[in-house]
Amino acid sequence: MKTVIIPAIDLQVGEAVRLFKGDYNQKTVYSQNPAQLAQKFESMGAKYLHIVDLDGAKDGNTANLETIRKIRAGVRIPIQVGGGIRNAATVALYIEGLAVDRVILGTVAVENPEFVKEMVLKYGAQRIVVGVDVRNGKVATGGWLNDSGVDYLKFIEQLKRIGVETVIVTDISKDGTLTGPNWDMYKRIKGIKVIVSGGVASDDDIKAAGDYYGVIVGKAYYEGKVNMEKLLCGKRRIIPCLDIKDGKVVKGVNFVNLKELGDPVTLAKKYEREGASEIILLDIAGTSGDAIRQVVKELLIPVTVGGGIKSIEGFRRAFENGASKVSINSAAVANPDLIKQASKEFGKERIVVAIDGKGQNVVVNGGKEVTTLEIVEWAKKCEALGAGEILLTSMDADGVQKGYDIAMTKSVVDAVKIPVIASGGCGNIGDIVDVFDKTGCDAVLAASLFHYGRVTVPAIVQDFYSGRVLMLAYVNPQSYEVMVKEERTCFWSRSRNELWRKGETSGDVQLIKSMAFDCDNDTLLIQVEQIGKGACHTGQYSCFGDERGEYAMLDSVYAQIVDRAKNPREKSYTNYLLDAGLDKICKKLGEEVTETIIAAKNCDKAELVGEIADVAYHMLCLMYMAGVSPQDVTARLAERFLVQGNLKQRNERGEV
């Protein structure tokens, strides 16, 4: 089980805050713009967000509803919301009105367990979570202000009986203290999905939560105790870079022979439209401050700015002009203490140190000067001084478009704990996949790939179970980034010039099983589990027609049974049958055959089709348990009826 790391945003009067041990009088404000904070967590790679309306929890209302509405509208990832949800109307408001993915019931679960049961039956256990807030072994209610006297273990057993599958368990005495979770408390909980909450203080605490369904991280992130971006590496970032000189975007090879490519605002907005989640702007000659300010002003996505920044005042001006992060390079080499000062002044997560390398050494001043600094040792020192991220560029690979410097990148990734952005050499999307897979870097920078239009590659989509080719589409770096993060297909529409997630409107989504490039890194094979009617907008299962579709479907179902056996899923009927064993499957098959006969006798075609499908499915389960494949059966049929290709020969009795 992979533990879900869930960033927390606690709301009070529209602000993101954290309480100390649940005390409303001891709070720290961390953001006055919670919606922007949520977007930041999404950009880091968070797969879920935990939102608590503290005012609602205390007073039993929806005091921060509008703030939650803005958060929901601003992010694509699922969110769970708790605090003050004590009746069916409020549950419906969040789930049906705001499209919240999960609601957290707290006080009402203690006071009215039957209500929880009703909500589980109505919305499903996957959308109803119960918050179990514990003080001295007893469940607390009313925003942690009241003690119910109910033992937390007995309460959880009761929740299991009424259908609850997931609980968020918080030791109130640990919350906000940064002293580590109460592991002894969690060890006593059995037979239910547990999300750990309260006391998380370090990366080690998060790793220790690996045996649990999820872990909520709040104050530890806000106080800089954990590297959230590193931990949330489920999303690998692909970042367009604009090198700007004299107000124009330029690009060269090995830092020389620069060619002018266009207006930075126009190009940056183009990349934003194409789905870039962030952009890096480098003023390579320190002469384009006005142009960079204009780009930052025009964009909605985060922008990292670098070039010509040599002082704390330079950092301050960049941030005042809208930069999300600031990158320094030669200035850091000349004055390493600048890293420490900037980190202390603005926060390490906003400080990027760019390292240009040639061979084993750091180069500065646009590659003109080779220093005696060794790349790995300098990266380690930058981390120690307070850098939040390393932007590593191979001068030898830059602009050549033959792939990233794998050895250099891996050496730095292995040496530091902060995120590393690989830069220099990207020629196609395959190069991006290569450097991610071989180095473990957190992000890649690409310039030529975007500037020269080598952005899209064809993607062949294949049914994972049957092997059928479903469709051909096109992938760009942003759609690839989405697929890595969401594990479902997302493509680039060349006609509409926008990203499109397969099945976003039809519901016919494709869940990714594997992705691989061909030997030339210019075509992507995506194997998927096709959900819904099929891949084609015409209603056919495959865009290449449905010939053999009815036969391939049996192969596909059988392959899915094999997959369930190898990778069990919770509440899977197939897994239930396989676990029950051969006798149970035989009994079910007999029942389905009987029902098929009854449907036939009743002359009910629709019912008969359904019953025959049930017989086919249970027969395939029986075949799997007995070690018989569809190929074994078709081979015997071919032998019995003398079928060879499309030629049907007659047997001795003259029958086909």
Residues serving a catalytic function are 10, 133
Instruction: Scan for tokens 């479907």, then name that residue.
Output: 553
Name every residue whose Cβ is closer than 8 Å to that of residue 417 and which is 6 or more positions away in sequence: 227, 230, 383
- Cα distances from 399 to residues 266, 323, 393, 449, 451, in angstroms, run 21, 26, 11, 9, 11
Contact by Cβ (8 Å): 119, 162: no
d(CA 117, CA 128): 9
- The whole-angstrom separation of Cα 302 and Cα 239 is 11
For 391, the 3-state DSSP assignment is strand
Size of the chain in residues = 656
For residue 437, the tally of other CB atoms under 10 A from its CB is 10
Contact 361, 213 (CB under 8 A): no
Helix (H) or strand (E) holding 292: helix 289-298
441: its two tokens: 């870097």
Task: Count other Cβ atoms within 10 Å, centred on residue 440.
Answer: 14
User: Whose structure tokens read 């080499």?
Assistant: 333
**How many degrees, rounded to 5, is the angle at CA 194 between CA 577 and CA 528?**
50
Q: Which residues contact 68 (CB under 8 A, 6 or more apart)?
A: 11, 51, 53, 81, 94, 98, 100
Query: How many CB atoms within 10 Å of residue 401?
Result: 19
Q: How far apart are CA 291 and CA 295, in angstroms?
A: 6
